[in-house]
């Protein structure tokens, strides 16, 4: 249900959305400061083309204000995607609520969704900043980039556009703390976006993206995709980065970012029973293969499983998460 209106020369659109999976709650504000807590809801500045849109979400009510109604509705659609309210995860819960590894977490947190960015370019940009460093350092870089290159409107900030980054010199991004090689990679990726050679458009599969049809072809499907093939041709952009974009930017819930150090350590411990064991990326993908086509969501539940009180599985040892790092 939606209702447009006008306030002070702008268009206000409200939509009440029925979640496709009834257990639903909003996630937390984003670490980069772009999605902010406002009361019991969230607020975010987006841009549809060059037009700013402020979207507020409270429960299942989405409200957007922009100059045009079309931009306001597009902003709501992007925040619906970001919150996962339209994800139908019924099949996942039916299949895995009694799973021996993640079942307790699935039952304890039925509302859990994979957190996504409203703009796939933003996911790509931030994933490059997160390579091989811990999250506090990556977040600091992101906040400096927002402060220097981001867009603002009515007291809110949005992330830098691909066009803005494409016009930067590497030294400008290095001044924000980004490694020189990754600064060059980000600029090259931005120029691919601006030139239209990389689109990163969402498809129609579960969660909004196209889904691989077999357990073993997820990474192959990414490499075969024209957009991801172009990105993978850029030095410093590897499988982990495109897997992050697929999961958190395009909504492909069949994808797990296998190079994430947290998953490498966690799967290593679970697979061997040795507290310091570290798996490789192929082993991580193999571990989550039985959860196809929901590997990305299953991975989120595996992280949650560590927070549930109770005895661990035999032969494993749970411990606090290491600072998150990842390969390219």
CA atoms within 13 A on the CB side of 167: 5
Pairing of strands 51-58, 41-48: antiparallel
Residues, the chain: 328
For the chain, the domains span 2-85, 87-114+205-328, 117-198
* Lookup: tokens for 221: 């499907």
* Token representation of residue 328: 């390219």
> Two tokens at 301?
């539940």
User: Would you say 210 and 252 are in contact if contact means Cβ atoms under 8 Å apart?
Assistant: yes
pTM of model > 0.85: yes
Closest residue by Cα to residue 247 from 161, 123, 142, 130: 123
The answer to whether the beta carbons of residues 268 and 277 sit under 8 Å apart is yes
Q: What is the pLDDT of residue 324?
A: 55
Query: Where do runs of H (alpha helix) occur along 261-310?
Result: 261-272, 281-288, 295-305
Structure tokens at 155: 């007291």
Coil, strand or helix at 109 = coil
CA distances from 169 to 130, 141, 239 (A): 20, 16, 26
CATH 1.10.340.30 fits 117-198, yes or no: yes
Walk along the chain (328 residues) and give the pLDDT tens digit of each residue: 444 444 456 999 999 999 999 999 999 999 999 999 999 999 999 999 999 999 999 999 999 999 999 999 999 999 999 999 999 999 999 999 999 999 999 999 999 999 999 999 999 999 999 999 999 999 999 999 999 999 999 999 999 999 999 999 999 999 999 999 999 999 999 999 999 999 998 864 334 444 544 455 899 999 999 999 999 999 999 999 999 999 999 999 999 999 999 999 999 999 999 999 999 999 999 999 999 999 999 999 999 998 776 554 544 433 444 445 667 7
CA proximity to 271, closest of 259, 260, 257, 282? 282
Q: By C-alpha distance, which of 69, 96, 130 is closest to 257?
A: 130
């Amino acid at each position: 249900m939606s209702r447009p209106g006008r306030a002070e020369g702008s268009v206000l659109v409200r939509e009440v959305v029925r979640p496709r999976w009834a257990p639903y709650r909003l996630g937390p504000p984003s670490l980069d400061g772009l999605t902010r807590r406002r009361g019991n809801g969230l607020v975010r500045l987006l841009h549809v083309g060059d037009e700013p849109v402020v979207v507020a979400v409270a429960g299942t009510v989405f409200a957007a204000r922009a100059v045009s109604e079309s931009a306001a509705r597009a902003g709501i659609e992007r925040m619906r995607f970001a919150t996962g309210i339209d994800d139908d995860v019924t099949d996942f819960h039916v299949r895995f609520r009694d799973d021996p590894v993640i079942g307790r977490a699935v039952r304890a947190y039925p509302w859990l969704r994979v957190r996504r960015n409203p703009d796939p370019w933003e996911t790509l940009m931030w994933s490059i900043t997160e390579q091989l460093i811990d999250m506090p350092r990556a977040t600091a870089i992101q906040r400096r980039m927002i402060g220097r290159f981001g867009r603002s409107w009515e007291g809110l900030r949005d992330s830098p556009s691909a066009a803005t980054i494409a016009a930067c010199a590497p030294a400008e991004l290095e001044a924000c703390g980004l490694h020189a090689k990754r600064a060059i990679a980000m600029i090259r990726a931005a120029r691919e976006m601006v030139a239209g050679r990389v689109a990163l458009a969402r498809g129609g599969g579960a969660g909004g993206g196209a889904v691989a049809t077999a357990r073993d072809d997820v990474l192959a499907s990414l490499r075969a995709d024209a957009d991801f093939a172009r990105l993978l041709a850029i030095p410093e952009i590897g499988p982990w980065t495109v897997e992050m974009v697929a999961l958190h930017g395009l909504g492909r819930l069949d994808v797990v970012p296998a190079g994430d150090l947290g998953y490498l350590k966690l799967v290593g411990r679970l697979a061997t029973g040795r507290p310091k064991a570290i798996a490789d990326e192929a082993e991580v993908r193999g571990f989550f293969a039985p959860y196809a086509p929901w590997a990305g969501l299953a991975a989120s539940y595996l992280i949650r499983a560590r927070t549930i009180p109770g005895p661990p599985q035999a032969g494993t040892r749970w411990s606090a998460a290491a600072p998150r790092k990842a390969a390219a």
